[in-house]
C-alpha cells in the first residue's frame, strides 16, 4: 500500500490556502531581485506575518539580555548587564535542571514559571484565582489548541463533532479541526458593526449544524484575527450564557490581549468575566484560554512559547490532557523563560524598568499610528473600506472590485482577492494575504494587512498601495 493511500481522508479534505501561491511567487521575486532583475521596487515588503521582529520591530532589551545570560552564564560576571537582569537570569538558571537551559523540564512546564503565570492571570483578572495545576506550557498557542482539540474532537464519533468558528478566522485553526475529523461550523462576524460577534448569528450557525454534526465547542478570537475587533464585556457575557445554554466547550484565543488600540476598547478576558458572573456559570462552563509570547510586546515568535489555562474541566479529562502534553516531553526551555519574562516584567524601581517602559510604549505608539494611517489611507481609496481596527495585529479591509477585474480573475481560475493580491505583489512588491483564506461572506472580497511593523515600512507600504490601487481601478474600470 502506498503512502498516499494511507493518508487520512480528513487530511486530504483540507483545502490548500491561496497564500501558498503568493509565497511561491514572492520567493521567485526575491531571487529575481537578488539577481538584479529590474523591477519598480528594490525590496519586497511582506505584511502577511504577525511576526513583529521580521518586519522591523526591535526585541525588548530586558528579554534578550536575560535570555543571553541564561544561554551564556559567563555574562553573569559582566558589568555590561543591569543588576536586575543578572539576578533574574541567575534565579531562572537555578530553577532549571542542573542549572542549565539545556535540560528537560516537567511536562506542564517549569513549576516556578507556572506559578508566575498563575500570579499574572490573577492580577490581570482582578483577583479571579488561577492555579498552576490548570496551566500547561507548550511550543505556542496553536500547539496548545491542537492538543485540546484532540480531546474534544473524536474522529470516530457519529455524527461527527462540530466546532463553531468565526468568519473570518485564522485558517490554521479550521485546518486543525478538519484534519482531526471534525466539522467547522462557521458563524459570521458582522462587518457593518465593526466585525462584532452577534448572538443571533451563533443561534443561526447552531441551527445550520442540525443533521450535519454534533456541535461540541465554540471557538472565539479576542482581539480578532484578522478582524481586529475587541469584544465588550456585554458581548463576552452573552457568549458565555450561550455556551452554557447549549452546553458548548469554550475555546478563547486571547494571544493579542496586549495590543488594544481603540479609544473605547478594553481587553477583558473570558476567564475574568466567567468568574465575575458567578454561579451557575462560573462553576459549570468549561473554558480553555490561550496566550503566547509570539504576539504583544514580547513578539518572540521563534522561541515558541505559549500556554493554555483550563477552567472547570473534569479531573478525568485533565488526565488525558496531561498525557497529550507528555508525549512532547516539554516545551522549549527558552520559550518557557521568555514566558516568565512576559508575565513578570521589570517593576518600578528596577534598573531595567525605565528602558522596558520606554520600549513597550514606543511599540504601542508605533502600532497605534500604523493602525490610524492604514485606516485613513485605505478608506480614502475608491473601492476600499476598512472597519476600525480596535486591537490585534491585522487589518481586514473589504475590496469592492470592478466587474472586469472579477471576470478576469475567474478566467484565470482565481478568487478575485487572490488575483488582486498577486497583482499587488507583482507590480508593487507588497505581499498581503487574500481574504478567501480566512472565510468571508459570499460575494465579498478582502485582503489582510499586518500592522506589526515599523512606521517607516508601513509608510512605504501605503505609498506603494496607493499608487498600485489607483492604477488597478483605472485599468479595470
Q: What secondary structure does DSSP assign to 227-271, as a single string?
A: T-----HHHHHHHHHHHHHHT-EEEEE-TTTT-B--TT-----HH
Residue 4: pLDDT over 80: no
Contacts of 176 by beta carbon, 8 Å cutoff, 6+ apart: 142, 145, 146, 149
Q: What's residue 235's pLDDT?
A: 97
Residue 443: pLDDT over 70: yes
Question: Cβ(464)–Cβ(430) under 8 Å?
Answer: yes
pLDDT digits (tens, 9 = 90+) for 229-272: 999 999 999 999 999 999 999 999 999 999 998 788 999 999 99
Q: What is the mean pLDDT of the chain?
A: 93
From residue 410, give the alpha-carbon distance in Å to each of 404, 405, 420, 474. 10, 9, 12, 19
Give ∠ CA 52-54-60 in degrees, rounded to 5. 50
What gap in Å lies between CA 250 and CA 215, rounded to an integer?
Answer: 12
Contacts of 179 by beta carbon, 8 Å cutoff, 6+ apart: 8, 10, 11, 14
Residue 11: pLDDT over 90: no
Q: What's residue 224's pLDDT?
A: 93
pTM of the model: 0.94
Question: Cβ(318)–Cβ(151) under 8 Å?
Answer: no
What gap in Å lies between CA 332 and CA 137, rounded to an integer?
Answer: 9
pLDDT digits (tens, 9 = 90+) for 202-223: 999 999 999 999 999 999 999 9
In DSSP notation, 79-103 reads SSS-HHHHHHHHHHHHTSGGG-TTS
Q: What's residue 1's pLDDT?
A: 57
The whole-number average pLDDT for the span 78-82 is 92
Q: What's residue 7's pLDDT?
A: 64
In the structure, what pLDDT confidence band is assigned to residue 12 with cuts at 50, 70 and 90? low
What gap in Å lies between CA 430 and CA 68, rounded to an integer?
Answer: 34
CATH topology of domain 8-56+357-475: 3.90.1150
The dotted CATH code for 104-343 is 3.40.640.10
Cell of 402: 470592478
Strand partners, 448: 433
Q: What's residue 295's pLDDT?
A: 87
Q: What's residue 358's pLDDT?
A: 97
pLDDT digits (tens, 9 = 90+) for 17-64: 878 899 999 999 999 999 999 999 999 999 998 888 888 889 999 999
Q: What's residue 3's pLDDT?
A: 58
Residue 456: pLDDT over 70: yes
Domains in the chain: boundaries: 8-56+357-475, 104-343
pLDDT digits (tens, 9 = 90+) for 363-421: 999 999 999 999 999 999 999 999 999 999 999 999 999 999 999 999 999 999 999 99
Amino acid at each position: 500500500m502506498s503512502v498516499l493511500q494511507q493518508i487520512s481522508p480528513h487530511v486530504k479534505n483540507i483545502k490548500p490556502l491561496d497564500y501558498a501561491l503568493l509565497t511561491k511567487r514572492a520567493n521567485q521575486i526575491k531571487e529575481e531581485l537578488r539577481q538584479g532583475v529590474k523591477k519598480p521596487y528594490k525590496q519586497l515588503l511582506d505584511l502577511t506575518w504577525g511576526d513583529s521582529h521580521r518586519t522591523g520591530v526591535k526585541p525588548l532589551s530586558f528579554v534578550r539580555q536575560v535570555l543571553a545570560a541564561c544561554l551564556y552564564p559567563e555574562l553573569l560576571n559582566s558589568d555590561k548587564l543591569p543588576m536586575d537582569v543578572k539576578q533574574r537570569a541567575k534565579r531562572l538558571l537555578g530553577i532549571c535542571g542542573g542549572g542549565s537551559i539545556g535540560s528537560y523540564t516537567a511536562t506542564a512546564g517549569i513549576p516556578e514559571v507556572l506559578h508566575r503565570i498563575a500570579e499574572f492571570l490573577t492580577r490581570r483578572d482582578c483577583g479571579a484565582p488561577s492555579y498552576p495545576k490548570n496551566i500547561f506550557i507548550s511550543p505556542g498557542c496553536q500547539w496548545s489548541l491542537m492538543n485540546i482539540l484532540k480531546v474534544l474532537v473524536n474522529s470516530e464519533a457519529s455524527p461527527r463533532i462540530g466546532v463553531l468558528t468565526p468568519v473570518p478566522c485564522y485558517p490554521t485553526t479550521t485546518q486543525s479541526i478538519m484534519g482531526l475529523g471534525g466539522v467547522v461550523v462557521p458563524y459570521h462576524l458582522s462587518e457593518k458593526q465593526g466585525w462584532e460577534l452577534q448572538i443571533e448569528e451563533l443561534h443561526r450557525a447552531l441551527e445550520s449544524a442540525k443533521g450535519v454534526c454534533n456541535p461540541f465547542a465554540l471557538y472565539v478570537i479576542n482581539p480578532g484575527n484578522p478582524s481586529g475587533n475587541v469584544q465588550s464585556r456585554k458581548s463576552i457575557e452573552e457568549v458565555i450564557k450561550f455556551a452554557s445554554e447549549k452546553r458548548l466547550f469554550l475555546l478563547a484565543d486571547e494571544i493579542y490581549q496586549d495590543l488594544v488600540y481603540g479609544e473605547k476598547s478594553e481587553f477583558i478576558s473570558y476567564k475574568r468575566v466567567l468568574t465575575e458572573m458567578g454561579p451557575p456559570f462560573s462553576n459549570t462552563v468549561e473554558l480553555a484560554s490561550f496566550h503566547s509570547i509570539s504576539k504583544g510586546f514580547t513578539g518572540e515568535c521563534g522561541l515558541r512559547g505559549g500556554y493554555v489555562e483550563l477552567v472547570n474541566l473534569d479531573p478525568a479529562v485533565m488526565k488525558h490532557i496531561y498525557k497529550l502534553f507528555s508525549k512532547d516531553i516539554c516545551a522549549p526551555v527558552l520559550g518557557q523563560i521568555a514566558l516568565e519574562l512576559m508575565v513578570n516584567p521589570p517593576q518600578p524601581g528596577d534598573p531595567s524598568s525605565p528602558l522596558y517602559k520606554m520600549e513597550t510604549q514606543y511599540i504601542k505608539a508605533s502600532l497605534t499610528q500604523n493602525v490610524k494611517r492604514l485606516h485613513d489611507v485605505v478608506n480614502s481609496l475608491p473601492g476600499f473600506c476598512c472597519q476600525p481596527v480596535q486591537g490585534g495585529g491585522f487589518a481586514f479591509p473589504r475590496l469592492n472590485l470592478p466587474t472586469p477585474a472579477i471576470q478576469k480573475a475567474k478566467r484565470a481560475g482565481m478568487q478575485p482577492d487572490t488575483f488582486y493580491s498577486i497583482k499587488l505583489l507583482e507590480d508593487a512588491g507588497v505581499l498581503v494575504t487574500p481574504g478567501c483564506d480566512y472565510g468571508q461572506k459570499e460575494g465579498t472580497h478582502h485582503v489582510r494587512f499586518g500592522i506589526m511593523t515599523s512606521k517607516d515600512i508601513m509608510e512605504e507600504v501605503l505609498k506603494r498601495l496607493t499608487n498600485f490601487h489607483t492604477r488597478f481601478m483605472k485599468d479595470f474600470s
